[in-house]
Amino acid sequence: MMKTIELQKQKIYCGNLMLVNAKYPLKTDDASNLIPADMRFPDILMKRDAANVLQLIIEKLSAEKSIIPVSGYRTLREQTDIYFTSLKDNGEDFTQKYVALPDHSEHQTGLAIDLGLNKKEIDFIRPDFPYDGICNEFRKTAPNYGFIERYKKDKEEITGISHEPWHFRYVGYPHSKIMTERGLSLEEYTEFIKAYRDDCRFVYRQSLDARVEIYYIPANKEITFISMPDNCVYQTSGNNIDGFIITVWRKNDD
Residue 164 catalytic?
yes
Distance CA 234, CA 254 (A): 14
Instruction: Give the burial string for 71-96 (b: 16+ CB within 10 Å, else e).
Output: bbbbeeeebeebbeebeeeeeeeebb
Exposed/middle/buried for residue 230 (C-beta within 10 Å: 0-12, 13-18, 19+): exposed
- How many Cβ atoms are within 10 Å of 176's Cβ, its own excluded? 24
Q: Which of 106, 164, 181, 191 is catalytic?
A: 164
Q: Are 148 and 169 in contact (CB under 8 A)?
A: yes
Active site residues: 164
